[in-house]
Amino acid sequence: MARPISKQLLRRPNPHSPLPQTHPLTTTFVSLDPSTTWPPPTITSLNPSAKVPILSITPPNSTTGNEGGEDGKNPIILTQSPAILEYLEETFPSRTPLLPRAPHEWQKRAKVRELVSLICTDIQPPTNQSCLLLINHLSTSLATSVLPESSSLAPFTPQNPSPGKLFAVQILTSGLAAYDALIAECAGKFSVGDEVTLADVCLVPAVLMAEGYGVDFNEERFARVRRVFEECMGMWEFREGSRREGEEKRHPCGLEQENPRVGSEERGAEE
């Protein structure tokens, strides 16, 4: 794993909260390169299913018992993206909620969760690298058992794509087309209305993955998804969050004033 990067998470001032307004945040890049040994011991010690992301929450030096384990001191571990996203949204709320909070916005909340589930349940898991490698392995084993002379199969290339890649393209294509149809009645500038929500946070990496597999988003069935994605990528937060390890980007001067999502109170996670 790469060198940890230290950052800060900032929360809005809340006189009724026992938690400090500033929390240190350390991010660690985990390589998913199939040529490396997987899983690293540090991953399995935190998550028995040996998957990422993992959020380890260490409470501040406090005896309030409002953070951490039952005694308020032991770290708690969250290992599923939806759980992590909702924890961060509830713990570090911003002026523009990523999950609508007003009582009358219950339909919007349900819609956001529906779209998050579509990405995190129907699209991402089956296109996970471990699944695709397993598909390739089983396909090769089956071909060899049925046709022994195929033991020296042609290598996978763009002209001869692997079964795993073909499977991933099918899942991503059908899943994101379904996403596009589901936001037909609720989309504004973003997936649900005119403000960023957790649905957009999940959509962007799914589109980036699909682009990596060659999915053509110029097709009409992806028109809404493409428009929302482009709107998201116009924001520094999405560009920074989507960068690959080793790339360096800095927050452009003055964007805090232009974008209400990046106010001085909750900029957070900024290098």
Query: Is residue 6 situated within a structural domain?
Result: no
Apex CA 112: angle with CA 75 and CA 176, to 5°?
Answer: 105
The residue that leads in pLDDT, 233 or 17, is 233
Q: How crowded is the C-beta side of 182, counted as CA atoms within 13 Å?
A: 21
Does residue 201 have a pLDDT over 90? yes
Query: Is residue 202 situated within a structural domain?
Result: yes
50-54, 70-74, 196-200, 256-260 — which is least confidently predicted?
256-260
Does residue 256 have a pLDDT over 50? no
Contacts of 210-217 with C-beta under 8 Å, sequence gap 24+, read 210/169, 210/172, 210/173, 210/176, 213/165, 213/168, 213/169, 213/172, 214/169, 215/169, 215/172, 215/173, 215/176
Query: Is residue 12 situated within a structural domain?
Result: no
Query: Is residue 102 situated within a structural domain?
Result: yes
**Residue 164: strand, helix, or coil:** helix
Query: Is residue 249 situated within a structural domain?
Result: no
Q: How crowded is the C-beta side of 253, counted as CA atoms within 13 Å?
A: 0
- DSSP string spanning 72-125? S-S-EEE-SHHHHHHHHHHHS--SS-SS--SGGGHHHHHHHHHHHHIIIIIITG
CB 30 within 8 A of CB 43: yes
pLDDT digits (tens, 9 = 90+) for 202-233: 999 999 999 999 999 999 999 999 999 999 99
pTM for the whole thing? 0.74
Q: Per the structure, how many domains does the chain have? A: 1
The residue that leads in pLDDT, 79 or 17, is 79
CB 98 within 8 A of CB 192: no
With residue 199 as reference, give the H or E element that holds it: helix 198-212
Mean per-residue pLDDT over the chain, rounded? 77
Question: Which residue range(s) make up the domain with 116?
Answer: 41-242
pLDDT digits (tens, 9 = 90+) for 170-197: 999 999 999 999 999 999 999 999 999 9
pLDDT band at 248 (very low <50, low <70, confident <90, very high): very low
Mean pLDDT of 137-146: 74
Report the alpha-carbon distance of residue 177 to residue 162 in Å, rounded.
23
The pLDDT assigned to 255 comes to 31
Q: What is the CATH number of the domain that holds 211?
A: 1.20.1050.10
Query: Is residue 100 situated within a structural domain?
Result: yes
The pLDDT assigned to 67 comes to 47
The pLDDT assigned to 60 comes to 63
The residue written with tokens 């009358």 in the block is 104
Query: Is residue 88 situated within a structural domain?
Result: yes
Mean pLDDT of 61-86: 70
